[in-house]
Structure 1
Amino acid sequence: MDATNTSNEAGLEEYDLFPLKLAGIHLPWRSPETDLPGLMNRVGKSGFSFMDPVNIVKRALPDDVPIRVTEILPRVKDGGAFVKFTYPAELTPRDIEGKVSKLLAEKPIKRFFSPLRGVQAGLVKGVPWLEDLQRYPKGRLRIEFVPKNPGEEAVELSQETLYSMFRRYGSISEIISQPWDSKVVPKYAYVDFFFVRDAIMARNCLHGFVVPEELGGGKLGTKFRISYERRAKPHRIWDWITNHPRIVIPVIVALLTGLTVVIFDPIRSFFVKAHVSRKYRLSNSRLYRWVRKQTSDIFALRRGGAEQAGLNAVWSHRKDIIEQIQAWLMETTETFIVIQGPRGSGKKELVLEQALKDRQNVLVIDCKQIAEARGESAIIKNMASEVGYRPIFSWANSVSSMIDLAIQSTTGVKAGFSETLDSQLQKILQTAAGALQNLDLEGRTKGDLDASLPTDSYLETHPEKRAVVVIDNFVYRSGDNTLIYEKIADWAAALVQSDVAHVVFLANDSSYTKVLSKSLPDRVFRHVALGDLSPDVAKWFILGHLAADAKKDDSGSDDTTEKQGVTDVPDLVELDDCIGTLGGRLTDLEYLARRIRAGQSPKQAVAEITEQAASEILKMFLLPGKASDDGEHKWSMEQAWYLVNLLSKDDALRYNEVLLSDTFASSLTAPDGESALEGLANAELITVRSSAGRPRSIVVGKPVYRAAFRQLAADKVLSAKMELARLKELVKIEGGNIDKAEKELVLLGSLPNQPWGARDRVQYLLGKIDGAQNKIGRYEQEMSKLKKVLYTQY
C-alpha cells in the first residue's frame, strides 16, 4: 500500500479482492505479487471480466466524484490492492473515503470466496511498507512507538487512544500494553482483531502514520511501526496438567493400565487358551495327520520306535502307578499330585505320555527354564513363554523403572509406571488361570442337566472337565529364585481350591515339601515316588530297544543293507552283570542300549559310560577352583573328594557323621556343612535320603556314580593328590586352633596374679594344643607317604 499525502494525490486500500489462502501460490519464474494478478487478467480476457481486479476497483469508485486513478498495486498475500488517485483541491481525502464506503455499503461487491463480506476500502494515512517477504497476515498487530525523526523522543500511547484509532477498521478483541517494568525499546503494544482482514486493513492504512500532539503523540509526534505477530494461544489445560503432576501422573497411570487391560488382556487370554488346547498347532490339523499317515513308512524315525519299544516294558512295570494317577485326576479332592524321582527316572514321560495320553487341555510349565533365566526381564519372558502369555513387553519394565525414577526425582512422587517382579508374575498367572477356567467351560451348554449350577459347583462335580497343569522340575534350584516357586505354588493352590485345574508337580527330591506346605498347609499331598528300575525291568527295557531296532532292520533289509554296514546284535551274556553295575536309571539304560546297538559289548559300553561319568565328576567337582569362591558353588573341592572316597567303599554314609567330620565342620572355604551337602545334592553328586522328615543318609547321586567313584578312588595318583589337598587343609585347621589357644594362654599369662579358676582353663588349652599337634603329626606322616606316591608314579 503506497500513498503520498500531497494536495492533489492520495491512496486507498481495497481488500477482499483475492483469497488469503492463495497467498503462497506462485510460479518459480514469477514474483509472488505478479503471479495471481496475471492469472486473474488472463481469466478476465477469457470472458470472466468480473474477476479482473482492475474492473473491481472501477466498480468500487463512485461516478460522481471527480477523481482519476493513476496506479493500482495488487497485494496478493494481503488479499487486496493499493489505489493511487488524484482529486481536485475542493475535496478532501476523508470526503472521498466516505463516499467510497457509502457506495460499497449500498452496492456491495461480493467475491465467490467471501460471499458474506463485500469489498472494503480505507484511506491510507501512513507510509506503508511494500515488501515481498514470506510473512503472512495474522490477527495480532504489534504497534511500536518510534520517533518521527531519528534521535527524537517517542511517546507511548494509551489503550484508549489506540482503541479510538484502530476500532474503525474492525472489531478488536484485546489491547495489551507493554509491561510497566519492561526494558524493551522501542515501546510497543498489541492490538488483537477478531478477523485477519481487519488487521490487514489497519496495518496497511496506519503503518508509518505520525500521531500528532492533539491525538496524544507528544510535541514532536510519534510514528507507528506496525508488524504482524503470531498470537500465543492459551494452553490452560496443558498448564494445569504440568502444574499438578501429583494428581495427573497417577491418573495417567490408571488410564494406561485400564487401556492395557481392555486391549491386551483378551489377546493374551486367547493365546494362553491356544497354547493349552493346542487347537491351532499344525500337528493337530487333519491335513497334517493325513500326510503323516501316508508318509509314515518313508519318514519313519528309527530312534523314536526303538525308544517307545523300550519304554513299553517300563510302562508295563509301572502300570499300577499310571492307573493310580488317572484315578486321582477323576477325584474331587482339593490337593496336589506330586511325582517324585531322581533326574532321568522318566517322571515327565510317565505323566504326559501315559497318564495324560488322551487328556485335553494340558499345560506344562518347566521351572528349569524360568530358574535359569538371568535378570527380571528374562524371568518374566520365560514365564510368559511357558504359559503362552503374549504379547509380552519384558523390556518395558526396565524403561518404566527409569521413567519412574526420573519422575520421582523431579516431582517427589512415585509415578508407579514400573512393576515389581512379583506383580508381573502375578499378572501372568492370573491371566493363565482365567484362560484355564474358560477352557473348562467351553463344552458346557444350556441344554445340560446341570446348566443352572454356578461355575465352581459345576467344576466340582465334573473333575474330568478340568484342565491339568504339570509343573516340571519344581524346586529345580531350591536356594535360588524362591519367589518363583512360591508364586507358582500359591497359584497352583488357588487353581486346586477353586476347582479350575488339577495340578501335578514333578520333583527331583523331597525339598518340595517346604514350599508346598506353605500353600496348602491343611492338605495331604497325593505322592508317588519313582525310583530306579529293578534289574529285571531294566533288562527288558534294553531288550525292547534292541528288538525294535532289529525288527526295523529286518523289515527294511535288501541288497543295500549290507552296504549300509548294519551290524548284528552282539552277545548279551554280560548284560546281567552290566545292569547291576549301571543301575536302573532310565537315561543311563537308554545310553547303554544305543551303544550295544552300535556294536559294543555290554561290558565295553558300561566301561565307557563309567569312564565318561568319572571324567564328568573330575571336571565338575574335583578340579581346583570348584569351590564356594566362584559364587556358584557352596562346597569345596576337599569336601567333594571326601564323599567320593568314602562312597567308593560304602554304599551309604550317615548324614550327621559326615557333618561332624573335620572336612565339613571346620572347612576354611565352605564352613557351612549342611549348605555344602545341599549344593552337592543339587549338583547330583550325592543323594540325601530322609526319614520322618529329617535327613538320614547319603548315597551316590546316580547308580553309575558308584562305579565311577571306585574308578576315581582306584587311581593312586589322583587319590594321593586329592587326599594331600584335604590333609593340607586339615593341617591349616589344626594350626589355626593352636594359634587361638596360644593367644588365650598369652592373655592368661599376662594377668598380674594368676587366678585360681584359670588353672583348669590353662590345662584345657594345653590339652587342646597337644591334641591338635598330635593330629598334625599324623597328618604329616600321611602326607609324606602321599608325596612319595606322587614322586614315583605317573
Structure 2
Amino acid sequence: MILGRTVFRPASRYGAAGVAASRFSLGRGRSVTATLGNHTSRTIRRPESTVSTAGITGSDNTGHIEAGPNEAILFFDNLFPLKLSSVLFWRPWDTGELLKRFDNASLSFLDPISLVKRAIPETAAVKVVEFYPRFKEGGIYVKFTSPSGMSPAEVQAELARSLDKTPIKPWFSPFRGIKTGLVLGRPWLEDLYRLPQNRLKVEFVPAQDSEPPAELSQESLYSLFRRYGKIADISSQPPDSKVLPKYAYVDFVLLRDAIMARNCMHGFVLREEEGSKNPTRLRLSYEQREKPHQIWNWITNHPRIVIPIIAAFLAAFTVAVFDPIREFFVKIHVQKSFEFTDSRLYKWLKRQTSDILAFRRREDDDAGLNALFTHRKDVIDSIQNSLLESVDTFVVVHGPRGSGGRELVMDQVLQGRRNVLVLDCRQVVEARGEAGTIKKLANQVGYRPVFSWANNLSSMVDLAIQSTTGVKAGFSENLESQIVKILQTTATALKRVSLADRKKSDKDANLTDDAYLEAHPERRAVVVIDNFLHKGEEKGVLYDKIADWASALVQSNIAHVIFLTTDSSFSKPLAKALPDRVLHQVTLGDLSPVVAKHFVVSQLEPDGEPGPDSEESRDAPVLTEKQRRKDLQELDECIEVLGGRLTDLQVLTRRLKVGQSPKKAVSDIIDQNASDILRMFLLGNKSGGGVGGGGEGGTKWSAEQAWYLIRELASKETLRYNEVLLSSTFSSSTTAGAGSAEAAIESLASAELITVRSLHGRPATIRAGKPVYQAAFNRLLEDDAIRARMDLALLAELAKIEARTIEKAEAELAVLAGLPLQPYQAAERVDYLLAKLQGSQQKIVAYEKEMAGLKKMLSEAD
C-alpha cells in the first residue's frame, strides 16, 4: 500500500492535511466528503446513529462515539493533569452538565471547559454538541457541527492556527499549551485501567471480515503518525513471526503526542488507491516499553564491569558503616569500660569492706608468686623502665614453658596499668579453619561485629561467578587480607585510646598526634602478644602479619609491644619486622635451688601470715611452725632433683599442702612426667604419627629417635649437637614420615622433650627439655619392659639401615659383574664394596644377637 506525499504545517500539526491520495472509511453508512488542506477531497463514511444521552464511555456506554450527519469530533489535549487521572476518573461526569458549563463558562484558567471555550474562536462558528472527557489521557472529545461551506478538516486547521498564534496553557503545564486534532478514526472510550505510554502498538485488522488486511511499511506509518509529534522509533513485526494480527510499534518522544495519535487514529480505515485491493483498519493500543529490562540486560551482559563495581561498593559500604562500630568495640575492649571490677562502685565497696572481707586470691597457681617476683625485681624494673621511654622497639620476654613469664608481665610489670591489650596466639592458631581463626583473632582484640561465616558464602559466590563468566568477582577475602584488616582497625582504635586523655589545656596541646605520643610514651597503650610462635611452622603467615603490625605500632608511637614466647627462634620474624632496631630481650630461666626452696616455703605459709622479706631470709628462710616438719628436711634434695621450673614447683607445693612428703611428691611428679613422655613420644608415635609438627601424623621425628635421645641423656645429661646429627638413627632413619636430622631435632625441641642450646649463634649442646625430664629419663630406663621394647625397636631400625647398605652394595656389585670384561681399575671398588658389605653384615649379626636377648627379657618382663 503506497501513501501519497504528506505536507506538515505548523498551523495544522494535528490536522488531517497530511494524508493525500487516500480514502478514509470510518465504518458502514453514509459517506461524507471532506477537503483535507490543499489536497484532493476525501470521502468519509460515518455510521448511521441516533443522538442519545451519552456518558464518558460513549453513546449508550458502548465505548464508541457516534457522529451524526454534518458532525465531526475533535480531541483537545492537555486539559487534565495525568498524575491526577486516578482521582478524576471516579468523579461522576455528565455530558449534558458539561455542555451547560460550556455555554455559561467564564474565562477561568482553572476550569477545563472554559479552556475549551477559549480554544474555539468565535470566527470558527462551530456548534458544540457533546463532551466526552478522557481523564486518564488528560484530554476531552468534543463533538461539533461545522458551518456550511467548511469541512471538519478546515475547522481543525483554523483552531490549530489560532492555538499556535495564541497559546492556551493550563495551570499545571506552563510550557506546553493545549493542542487539538481531528478524530479520523472511530475512538474507543474504554474505562479500563490502562495508562498511557509513549509506545503505540498498531495492529492491522481487516475492515471487512472476508478481506485480509495489508501490512503497512515503516514509511507509511511515518506518514500517518508524524503529524502528531516527534517519532523516536518504528519497529515492524519480524518477518518470520506467525502472530496474528500483524502489528508494528510506533515510539513517540513525548507522551502527550502518543495520546493524541491514539485518540485520533484508532479505528482509522485506510484504502490505497494503487497496489492494494483490501482496506485496512488500524487498531491502536498503548504498549509498555521494557526499559527496566534494558538496564538489567546491560548489567548481565557486562559482568567484567559490573561485578568489580559492586564489590567496590560493598567494600566502601562496609568501611563506612561497620569500621567505626568495630573501632568502638576495640576501644572499649582495651579500656575495659564495661568490666565491673574497674568501676568506681566496685572500688568504693572494696575500700569500705576491706576490714570485713578479705579480697585475696586463693588460687593455688598464684600462691607465693610474690616471693618469686621479689627475686626478679631487676627484670621487672627493666621492663617497666622501657615502657616509660620512647625506644621504638619490642620487649621480648623469653623463657621455657612454665617459667612464669606471663605472670611476671601481667601481675607485676603491668599491675594497675590501664589500656592493656592481650593477644593470645595459642587460641588463634589452634582454631579450626579460616573462619575459626578469624573469629578467635577478632575475639582477642574485641573486633566486632565479625561475619566469619560470610567469607565461605562469598567464596561460593566467587566460584559460581568465575565458572560462568570467567571473571573473579573478588567478594571473598583470603585469610591474610582479613587478618590485616582486623589488625589495622585495632591499630586505629589503639591510637584513639592512647590519645583519649589528651586535653586542650595541656602545655603541648599544639603538637600533632604523632608528636604528642612520641613526647609522652607513658600514655601509650600496651599490647602483650602471648604464646608468640606457638606452632610457628603451621601458621607462619599469621605470625608474620602480627610481627609487621607490632612493628607499625612501635614505629608510629601508637603503643608499646611486649612479646611472650617460649620459642628460641623468635629473633628471625621479629628482626625481619624491625631490621634496624635492637630487641630488648629478657630471658627467664629456671630458678636456682635456693630461690626455688624459698618459693616453695613461701607457698606453704598459712593465709594471712607474711613471708620472710629480709635479705638474709632470701638465702635462709625461717620456717613457720606448720613448716617445721621432719620431712621438710628432704626438701633440698627433692628440689635438686625436681629443678627450678616454676610449674613443677607449684605442683610440688600443692602435693605438700595435701600432706605428702617431699620425696613422695617428687617421685609422683617424676612418674607422671615419665608417663607423659612414654605416651607422647614413644608409644604414641607410630610411623611419624605422634606429637610434633610435620610428617604424615604431624611429626618430623620417629619414636626411635626420641628413645635414642632419652637413653643417651639419661647417662650423659648433655650431648653434642653434631654427634647426635651424625648418628645413624638420625642421619639414616628409615621410619616413614620422619624428616631430616635437623628437622627431627628441631621438632623434638619444639615439643619440649629436649632443649638445644647455642654457642656463638650455632646449636652446640642438647639437654633435657626441663629439669624434671632428666629424672624421668632415668625412670624410664629403670623399667626393663620399656627399655627392652624400645631398644629392640632401635636395633631393628639399625639393622634395616645396614640391610639397606648391603642392598646398595649388592646392586652395584651386580652391575660390575655384568661387564663383559673385568677391568683392573674396578678391582679396588669391588674390594671396597665387599668390605662394606662384610662390615654391615657383621653389624646385623651383632644386632640380631642383642635383639634375641632383648626379646627374651621382654617375654619374661611383667
TM range, smaller chain = 0.7 to 0.9
Shift of residue 258, structure 1, vs aligned partner:
4.8
Shift of residue 222, structure 1, vs aligned partner:
1.2
Structure 1 residues 364-379: aligned runs within 5 Å: 364-379=422-437
Say if 1:100 and 1:121, in contact at 8 Å, map to a contact too.
no
SS at match of 2:483: helix
Report whether the alignment pairs 1:657 with 2:736: no
Structure 1 residues 334-413: aligned runs within 5 Å: 334-401=392-459
Aligned partners of 1:501, 1:607: CA distance in 2, in Å? 47
Aligned partners of 1:76, 1:770: CA distance in 2, in Å? 116
Say if 1:570 and 1:596, in contact at 8 Å, map to a contact too.
no
Shift of residue 512, structure 1, vs aligned partner:
1.1
What residue is the counterpart of 1:28 in the other structure?
Answer: none
Report whether the alignment pairs 1:226 with 2:267: no
Report whether the alignment pairs 1:188 with 2:247: yes
Structure 1 residues 101-116: aligned runs within 5 Å: none
Say if 2:423 and 2:528, in contact at 8 Å, map to a contact too.
yes
Aligned partners of 2:413, 2:146: CA distance in 1, in Å? 116
Say if 2:198 and 2:286, in contact at 8 Å, map to a contact too.
yes
Shift of residue 631, structure 1, vs aligned partner:
3.4
Say if 2:532 and 2:543, in contact at 8 Å, map to a contact too.
yes
Say if 2:439 and 2:452, in contact at 8 Å, map to a contact too.
yes
Aligned partners of 2:369, 2:756: CA distance in 1, in Å? 28
What residue is the counterpart of 1:693 in the other structure?
Answer: 761
Q: CA RMSD of the aligned region, Å?
A: 4.6
Aligned partners of 1:510, 1:425: CA distance in 2, in Å? 25
Structure 1 residues 212-251: aligned runs within 5 Å: 212-214=271-273, 218-233=276-291
Structure 1 pair 241/84, CA: closer, same or farther in 2 (3 Å)?
Answer: closer
Q: Which moved more, 1:10-19 or 1:372-381?
A: 10-19
1:140 aligned to which of 179, 185, 199: 199
What residue is the counterpart of 2:827 in the other structure?
Answer: 759
Q: Which moved more, 1:243-252 or 1:735-744?
A: 243-252
Shift of residue 688, structure 1, vs aligned partner:
1.5
Structure 1 pair 406/8, CA: closer, same or farther in 2 (3 Å)?
Answer: closer
Q: TM-score, normalised by structure 2?
A: 0.75
Shift of residue 674, structure 1, vs aligned partner:
1.5
The letter for the 2-side match of 1:638 is E
Shift of residue 143, structure 1, vs aligned partner:
0.7
Report whether the alignment pairs 1:608 with 2:650: no
Report whether the alignment pairs 1:545 with 2:587: no
Shift of residue 136, structure 1, vs aligned partner:
3.8
- Deviation digits for residues 173-214 of structure 1 (CA, Å, limit 9, x no counterpart): 435142786656654333345665664564455433321225
Aligned partners of 2:795, 2:207: CA distance in 1, in Å? 109
Report whether the alignment pairs 1:773 with 2:841: yes
- Deviation digits for residues 360-419 of structure 1 (CA, Å, limit 9, x no counterpart): 333322222233234444434433433334444444555555555666666666655554
Taking only the aligned residue pairs, the percentage that are identical comes to 55
Say if 1:468 and 1:504, in contact at 8 Å, map to a contact too.
yes
Aligned partners of 1:648, 1:543: CA distance in 2, in Å? 30
Say if 1:122 and 1:201, in contact at 8 Å, map to a contact too.
yes
SS at match of 1:547: coil
Structure 1 pair 253/519, CA: closer, same or farther in 2 (3 Å)?
Answer: same
Shift of residue 229, structure 1, vs aligned partner:
0.5
Say if 1:13 and 1:80, in contact at 8 Å, map to a contact too.
no
Structure 1 residues 325-340: aligned runs within 5 Å: 325-340=383-398
Shift of residue 529, structure 1, vs aligned partner:
1.7
Aligned partners of 1:332, 1:228: CA distance in 2, in Å? 78
1:578 aligned to which of 633, 638, 653: 638
2:681 aligned to which of 621, 627, 643: 621
Aligned partners of 1:675, 1:53: CA distance in 2, in Å? 103
What residue is the counterpart of 1:475 in the other structure?
Answer: 533
What residue is the counterpart of 2:98 in the other structure?
Answer: 56
Say if 2:95 and 2:132, in contact at 8 Å, map to a contact too.
no
What residue is the counterpart of 2:572 in the other structure?
Answer: 514
Report whether the alignment pairs 1:466 with 2:466: no
Aligned partners of 1:457, 1:201: CA distance in 2, in Å? 75
Q: Which runs of 5+ in 2 are unaligned?
A: 1-25, 30-45, 51-65, 68-72, 104-116, 611-625, 690-695
Say if 1:345 and 1:532, in contact at 8 Å, map to a contact too.
yes
Structure 1 pair 589/57, CA: closer, same or farther in 2 (3 Å)?
Answer: farther
Structure 1 residues 521-560: aligned runs within 5 Å: 521-549=579-607
Say if 2:75 and 2:183, in contact at 8 Å, map to a contact too.
no
- Deviation digits for residues 551-578 of structure 1 (CA, Å, limit 9, x no counterpart): 69xxxxxxxxxxxxxxx98955344443
SS at match of 2:752: coil
Say if 1:367 and 1:471, in contact at 8 Å, map to a contact too.
yes
Shift of residue 763, structure 1, vs aligned partner:
1.2
Report whether the alignment pairs 1:679 with 2:747: yes
Q: Which runs of 5+ in 1 are unaligned?
A: 26-35, 42-50, 553-567
Say if 2:128 and 2:143, in contact at 8 Å, map to a contact too.
no
SS at match of 2:567: coil
Structure 1 pair 20/501, CA: closer, same or farther in 2 (3 Å)?
Answer: closer
Aligned residues: 753
Aligned partners of 2:655, 2:434: CA distance in 1, in Å? 42
Q: Which moved more, 1:480-489 or 1:426-435?
A: 426-435
The letter for the 2-side match of 1:56 is L
Report whether the alignment pairs 1:787 with 2:828: no
Shift of residue 644, structure 1, vs aligned partner:
2.4
SS at match of 1:155: coil
Say if 2:133 and 2:140, in contact at 8 Å, map to a contact too.
yes
Shift of residue 125, structure 1, vs aligned partner:
5.2
Aligned partners of 2:129, 2:499: CA distance in 1, in Å? 94
SS at match of 1:752: coil
Aligned partners of 1:550, 1:388: CA distance in 2, in Å? 38
SS at match of 2:638: helix
Q: Which moved more, 1:491-500 or 1:318-327?
A: 491-500
Structure 1 residues 46-125: aligned runs within 5 Å: 52=94, 54-56=96-98, 59=101, 94=152
SS at match of 2:701: coil
Say if 1:339 and 1:528, in contact at 8 Å, map to a contact too.
yes
Report whether the alignment pairs 1:596 with 2:656: yes
SS at match of 2:381: helix
Structure 1 pair 217/84, CA: closer, same or farther in 2 (3 Å)?
Answer: farther
Aligned partners of 1:534, 1:3: CA distance in 2, in Å? 125
What residue is the counterpart of 1:207 in the other structure?
Answer: 266
Aligned partners of 1:54, 1:533: CA distance in 2, in Å? 115
Shift of residue 231, structure 1, vs aligned partner:
2.5
Q: Which moved more, 1:395-404 or 1:360-369?
A: 395-404
**Richer in helix (by share):** 1
Say if 2:805 and 2:837, in contact at 8 Å, map to a contact too.
yes
Shift of residue 633, structure 1, vs aligned partner:
1.1
Structure 1 residues 441-456: aligned runs within 5 Å: 441-445=499-503, 447-451=505-509
Report whether the alignment pairs 1:287 with 2:345: yes
Structure 1 pair 729/435, CA: closer, same or farther in 2 (3 Å)?
Answer: same
What residue is the counterpart of 1:749 in the other structure?
Answer: 817
Q: Which moved more, 1:531-540 or 1:453-462?
A: 453-462
Aligned partners of 1:724, 1:91: CA distance in 2, in Å? 133
Say if 1:2 and 1:82, in contact at 8 Å, map to a contact too.
no
Q: Which moved more, 1:393-402 or 1:268-277?
A: 393-402
Structure 1 pair 789/40, CA: closer, same or farther in 2 (3 Å)?
Answer: same
Aligned partners of 2:159, 2:27: CA distance in 1, in Å? 19
Q: TM-score, normalised by structure 1?
A: 0.81
Aligned partners of 2:825, 2:178: CA distance in 1, in Å? 123
Shift of residue 250, structure 1, vs aligned partner:
5.4
